[in-house]
Amino acid sequence: MTRKRRNMPDIPARVGLQFMGWKSEEAIEKVLEYFKLDFEHAKQPELVSFYQLFNRGQDFFVSDKRGLWSMFENPYKPLKQQILLQKVVDKVTYSDNLVEVHTKNNETFVSDYALCTFSTGVLASDMITFNPPLPEWKQESIYKNPISVYTKIFLKFPVKFWDDHEYILHASKRRGYFPVFQDLDRSGILPNGSGVLVATLTGDEGRRIEEQTDEETNTEITNTLRKIYGKDIPDPTGI
């Protein structure tokens, strides 16, 4: 990247794409852009770093029936007695010598060091007070990286009727409307015959779906799939 080699400041991905001559005007262009940007970063091009577009890592899909928790169960067990739950933190006081963590029920925990794992959404809110306040450079990083909405909807069908491709794109005039379906009924993912299809939504569409019932979501997805594959496809048996 010439721009990066010249130590020029980063810009939003939308601006960088425009410099490169990309204009997402047609429905097919919108879904291709969504698949490369929103689907990867869970943010619109206006909120994605132009430099990040060239740093994609390797993807993994965990299909272990025990769930993701099985990956952490063994490290967790020896620490189980030391983990405190239902302790809502509302203030963190820190200095060069110690850290004090205060909870809403007036408990205080003191330590030489503390590892903070709050999400950027929590850090950007007024839920927790830091004393002294976090430095401006750190606050800027927090505000620049808001928590993202990434909603996956798993549907099980009695039979596979869709294309045999890992990803199936839906080119809608409405950007981000059920744009990406993932076929899990493929060799190497889930056992053949699983009949599972995944729809992914991000941003405002993800929030909208999360606020409605499963029945409403089921209807929307089924209607979308019938526009693609015909009205005779079966209803999902589970969502």
Q: What is the pLDDT of residue 204?
A: 92
Q: What is the pLDDT of residue 70?
A: 85
How far apart (Å, rounded) are the C-alpha atoms in residues 35 and 142? Answer: 25
Q: Rounded mean pLDDT of 112-122? A: 92
Q: What is the pLDDT of residue 130?
A: 96
Tens-place pLDDT, residues 207-229: 999 999 999 999 999 999 999 99
Q: Confidence class of residue 202 from pLDDT cuts 50, 70 and 90?
A: very high
Tens-place pLDDT, residues 128-159: 999 999 999 999 989 887 788 999 999 999 99
Q: Considering only CA atoms, which of 60, 36, 59 is closest in space to residue 48?
A: 36
How far apart (Å, rounded) are the C-alpha atoms in residues 219 and 201? Answer: 15
Query: At residue 227, what are phi and psi to the nearest 5 degrees?
Result: -70, -30
Q: What is the pLDDT of residue 54?
A: 67
The structural domains of the chain, ordered by start, are 2-54 (no CATH), 68-144 (3.50.50.60), 150-229 (3.90.660.10)
Please report, rounded to a whole number, the percentage of residues in the chain having pLDDT higher than 90. 58
Q: Confidence class of residue 67 from pLDDT cuts 50, 70 and 90?
A: confident
Query: At residue 127, what are phi and psi to the nearest 5 degrees?
Result: -70, -30
Phi-psi region of 150 (alpha: psi -120 to 50; beta: other; left: phi over 0): beta
Q: Confidence class of residue 4 from pLDDT cuts 50, 70 and 90?
A: confident
Q: What is the pLDDT of residue 177?
A: 96
Q: What is the pLDDT of residue 55?
A: 63
pLDDT of residue 101 exceeding 90, the answer is: yes
**Residue 93 in contact with residue 100, Cβ under 8 Å?**
yes
Which one has a higher pLDDT value, 49 or 88?
88
